Amino acid sequence: MRVSKWLACMVVFLLAPIANTQTPLRPNILLLMAEDMSARVGAFGDSVAVTPNLDALAAQGVRYTNTFATAGVCAPSRAAHILGMHQISTGTQHMRSGSRPEGSYYSVPPENAKAYPELLRSAGYYTYTDNKLDYQFSGSLAGSGPTTIWDLEGGVVSDWDKRKQGQPFFGFISFPVTHESGVFLPLGNMPESVMHFTLQVMRWYIQDQPIPKRINPQDIVVPPYYPDTKTVRTDMARHYDNIATMDAEVGVILRQLQTAGLIDSTIVIWTTDHGDGLPRGKRELFDSGIKVPMIIRWPEAFRPEDVKSGAVDERLISFVDLAPTILSLAGVSVPANIQGHDFAASDAALNNYIYASRDRIDEHMDRQRAVRDKRYKYIRSWYPEVAGGTDLTFRDNIDMVREMRSMYESGQLNAVQQQWYQSPGEERLFDLASDPFEVHDVSSKPQYEQALQR
């Protein structure tokens, strides 16, 4: 009896390493999030953009062309993303809690709300992020939030090497170079410390890589809600230049993954925190404010069924879908209070609609809600007299913002360009199939009554 027990123990001991090698490995996951940027990427059809690294990533991965943030501004959007819950259900909807004119505060999410990297961490993942937090229940920068979410805050991209041997990692890296403030004239009204920080980050990332090609303002395609002026073209070209720099930074990161031997075990997700950091983009519920590009590069071992390299996925995806998707990819149970869906699952539920909201924006009170399907966008306003183009201290640092307001006040804008400075009314409906720029409100037209009521 003793001999048979001894033999059984030896068999278990000898076979243990074999069993371990047969256990499916959990993927590393690296989330790369540019700031303040719509789909100004070559792979998404933008002929002006200089984005060779993102274009290559898209060729290897999947482009998700109908992805939407839950807000057109960073802190509410990032709160919804990190919790997997819409900001209006967690008290994180005002922009920003830390800069409220009447006094700053930290939002207090519901007791059952957990940042999904904390759930990954408790399941054995090494979690790290860089200097950008901005969840509303934290400050904007590292060291100001709950200490349970990350193993490391304020680090660098390659901090995956600080994990234990064999431990999977989740990294979340932001790209400040594309932020709205990057369109401000250098050292104009922008605080010098902010500009110097941005330049340091740019230099650190691109290292000795060639400086990306600068965009010629004459090549810019001006949308109909902007006047076609030299100032507008110059500011938009500067935005494109910053996007090209961000693309170079992405290229450095992908090469670091390759050099570290991690490229085939890491799911890379690239997206942006909301739409363009330009007037009538950022802070708004138009697609220019909430529709974002997303690319996922799936290593062969973790690629979902029927997904092919270079594919395009046109499903409606919301930022609240990222948390359950990432948790599921890591083999972690998704809490019942998370409001999104795992879009990578073979039996993934389709979103018929996406939802977004806008509340206080800095010194201006507002409350808007939006719902969108693949054809229509409905926006409801509780402050129908509040125009999008109101004075806003931070945004007014952009040259084209000041010029456009001056042109509006002197009667130099056409009817479409004037809309942003006018009261929006209680409800608006846009037919995106015929009006992708959302400049023709059809809510009062009889032929759209059925769509409006729906």
CB neighbours of 133 closer than 8 A, spacing ≥ 6?
78, 139, 140, 141, 142, 144, 145, 153
- Angle of helix 52-60 relative to helix 230-259, nearest 10 degrees, comes to 50
* Cβ atoms within 10 Å, residue 425: 14
- What is the helix (H) or strand (E) element at residue 170, kind and residue range? strand 169-175
Q: Which of 286, 447, 279 is nearest to 377 (CA)?
A: 286
Cα-to-chain-centroid distance, residue 185: 24
**Most distant pair of Cα atoms in the chain: their distance:** 99
Catalytic residue among 74, 327, 370, 401: 74
Q: Is 234 exposed, middle or buried (0-12, 13-18, 19+ CB in 10 A)?
A: middle
**CB of 99 closer than 8 Å to CB of 144:** no
Q: Which of 251, 254, 273 is nearest to 262 (CA)?
A: 254
Strands 317-318 and 62-68, how do they pair?
parallel
Q: Per-residue pLDDT for 190 more than 50? A: no
pLDDT band of 125, cuts 50, 70, 90: very high
pLDDT band of 196, cuts 50, 70, 90: very low
pLDDT digits (tens, 9 = 90+) for 226-257: 999 999 999 999 999 999 999 999 999 999 99
Q: Per-residue pLDDT for 188 more than 50? A: no
Q: Which of 94, 358, 23, 53 is nearest to 210 (CA)?
A: 53
Buried b (16+ CB within 10 A) or exposed e, 73-90: bbbbbbbbbbbbbbbbbb
155/96 Cα distance (integer angstroms): 24
- pLDDT of amino acid 34: 98
9 is catalytic: no
39/46 Cα distance (integer angstroms): 8
The mean pLDDT value of the chain amounts to 90
Percent of the chain with pLDDT over 90: 84
405/239 Cα distance (integer angstroms): 20
Cα–Cα distances in angstroms (integers) from residue 213 to residues 185, 210, 419, in the given order:
19, 9, 35
Q: Is 402 exposed, middle or buried (0-12, 13-18, 19+ CB in 10 A)?
A: middle
Q: Per-residue pLDDT for 11 more than 90? A: no
Strands (E), 298-439: 311-313, 317-318, 354-358, 368-372, 376-381, 427-431
pLDDT digits (tens, 9 = 90+) for 253-293: 999 999 999 999 999 999 999 999 999 999 999 999 999 99
Strand partners, 141: 132
Q: Per-residue pLDDT for 211 more than 90? A: no
pLDDT band of 210, cuts 50, 70, 90: low
115/132 Cα distance (integer angstroms): 15
